[in-house]
């Protein structure tokens, strides 16, 4: 088990870091302005927005658990004492190439494929039941809401500026003025302060 975890920790690290970097920074900023701490931000924003990647990770882990042939064949080719470390793919290989029962091994392979597909379907169903699509769609809609109009900085007078918070007039990026409003990112029921 340690070898499998050590071998795949880099893949999952890249998967989750890429997912977290894909979350719009405005959503995190709106949460900070609303007073959410690190734990609340992780539970209420980060995890729901990377739910699809968590689902993918669970499917990969399940497939690996069902088909850990390479690791088990390298570490315990005989299946260990009393076949305690024998995985299904290893039994399939032994049935086909040691015993010569290719038809039975093909049937075992089909059952293994059906079990793998059932596991993936179970992960998809659990994700959908616990609000995967609706939560992600709602959060993405909030983060990609209507953006404020861009105006040239020379066209803006101080009377035209409408900051979302007192003391914040906006960001000047190059020659363009971006009004600094996060009102469209605030969740329903949590009015802007």
For the stretch 46-69, pLDDT in tens is 999 999 999 999 999 888 888 788
pLDDT at 113 over 50: yes
Residue 133 burial (CB < 10 Å; 0-12/13-18/19+)?
exposed
Helix, strand, coil percentages (3-state) for the chain, rounded to 5, are 65, 5, 30
> Do the Cβ atoms of 55 and 123 come closer than 8 Å?
yes
Distance CA 45, CA 179 (A): 24
Q: What is the pLDDT of residue 176?
A: 38
Going by their DSSP bridges, the two strands 151-152 and 176-178 should be labelled as antiparallel
Q: Kindly state the average pLDDT of the residues 95-107.
A: 94
pLDDT winner (highest mean) among 123-127, 136-140, 182-186: 123-127
Q: How far is CA 165 from CA 69, 150, 192, in A?
A: 58, 18, 9
pLDDT at 23 over 70: yes
For the chain, what is the mean pLDDT?
Answer: 76
Which of 31-45, 54-68, 111-125 shows the lowest per-residue confidence on average (mean pLDDT)?
54-68
Q: What is the pLDDT of residue 132?
A: 58
Q: Kindly state the average pLDDT of the residues 62-90.
A: 82
In the CATH hierarchy, which top-level class contains the domain 2-145? Answer: mainly alpha
Q: Give the percent of the chain with pLDDT over 90.
A: 43
Whether this prediction's pTM lies above 0.85 is answered by no
Going by their DSSP bridges, the two strands 176-178 and 171-173 should be labelled as antiparallel
Distance CA 49, CA 31 (A): 14
> What residues does 171 pair with on adjacent strands?
178
Which residues, in sequence order, are CB contacts of 80 under 8 Å at separation 6+?
Answer: 86
CATH 1.10.3720.10 in the chain: give the residue spans. 2-145
Q: What is the pLDDT of residue 103?
A: 96
Q: What is the pLDDT of residue 186?
A: 46
Tally Cβ neighbours within 10 Å of residue 176: 11
> Do the Cβ atoms of 117 and 53 come closer than 8 Å?
no
Tally Cβ neighbours within 10 Å of residue 68: 19
Q: What pLDDT band is residue 141 in, cutting at 50, 70 and 90?
A: low
74 vs 139, higher pLDDT? 74
């Amino acid at each position: 088990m340690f070898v499998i975890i050590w071998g795949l920790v880099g893949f999952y690290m890249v998967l989750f870091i890429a997912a977290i970097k894909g979350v719009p920074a405005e959503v995190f900023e709106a949460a900070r302005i609303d007073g959410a701490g690190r734990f609340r931000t992780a539970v209420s924003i980060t995890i729901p927005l990377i739910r699809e990647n968590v689902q993918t990770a669970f499917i990969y882990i399940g497939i690996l658990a069902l088909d850990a042939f390479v690791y088990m064949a390298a570490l315990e080719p005989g299946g260990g004492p009393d076949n305690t470390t024998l995985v299904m793919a290893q039994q399939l290989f032994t049935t086909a190439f040691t015993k010569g029962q290719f038809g039975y091994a093909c049937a075992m392979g089909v059952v293994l494929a059906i079990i793998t597909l059932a596991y993936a379907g179970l992960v998809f169903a659990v994700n959908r039941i616990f609000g995967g699509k609706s939560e992600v769609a709602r959060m993405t809609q909030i983060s990609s809401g209507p953006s404020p109009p861009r105006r040239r900085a020379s066209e803006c007078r101080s009377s035209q500026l409408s900051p979302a918070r007192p003391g914040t007039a906006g960001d000047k990026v190059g020659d363009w003025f971006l009004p600094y409003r996060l009102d469209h990112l605030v969740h329903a029921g949590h009015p802007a302060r």
